[in-house]
Copies of this chain bind each other. A is one copy, B any other.
Amino acid sequence: MKPVYVLNGPNLGRLGRREPEVYGTGTYDNLVAAVEAAGADCGLAVEVRQTDDEATLIGWLHEAAESASGVVLNPAAFTHYSYAVRDAAAMLGVPLVEVHLSNIAAREEFRRHSVISGVAAGVVSGFGFDSYALALRALQTLLGDTHA
């Protein structure tokens, strides 16, 4: 089976060095490890990537349309303005789950609107690294697997 792409947007590579009261103290490497472990739990191969670059993220979504069985996407700040990422997500053809580490509904006003949610299968936000684990489980079900 094709892997699930777990794609992370801008500044997430700096996790742990950034506002721990919002994002926790785990580093990006910790996140990758946690996601890989969660993937293993679900029996899903995962491909975890991060970029600060909108075009790179768009390219990965294009690639995922061919090579992935599903996508977990944390668009980070792109959530709030990148219609280009939205359009790439809209043409995926495989299920996409939007995730956020923090509960964006409880933060600044501008973070309450996602231009991407409208083309996602669903959204998981607020559970730190666990948001990804939950998204993988959601994908597992969407992809028709049996419970682990």
Contact = CB atoms under 8 A, between A and B. Distances in A.
Given A97-B126, A105-B117, 15 more contacts: A11-B87, A18-B91, A19-B91, A52-B58, A78-B84, A80-B83, A81-B82, A103-B122, A106-B118, A112-B113, A122-B131, A124-B138, A130-B137, A130-B138, A133-B137
Interface residues of A, number: 62
- Please report whether the interface of chain A is mostly helix, strand, loop or mixed according to DSSP: helix
25 contacts: A9-B84, A10-B84, A17-B91, A51-B55, A52-B58, A52-B88, A53-B55, A54-B55, A76-B84, A77-B86, A77-B87, A80-B83, A97-B126, A103-B121, A105-B114, A105-B120, A105-B123, A106-B117, A110-B115, A121-B126, A122-B126, A124-B138, A127-B138, A127-B141, A130-B138
A130 B52 CA distance: 31
Interface string A6-29: 000111011001110000000000
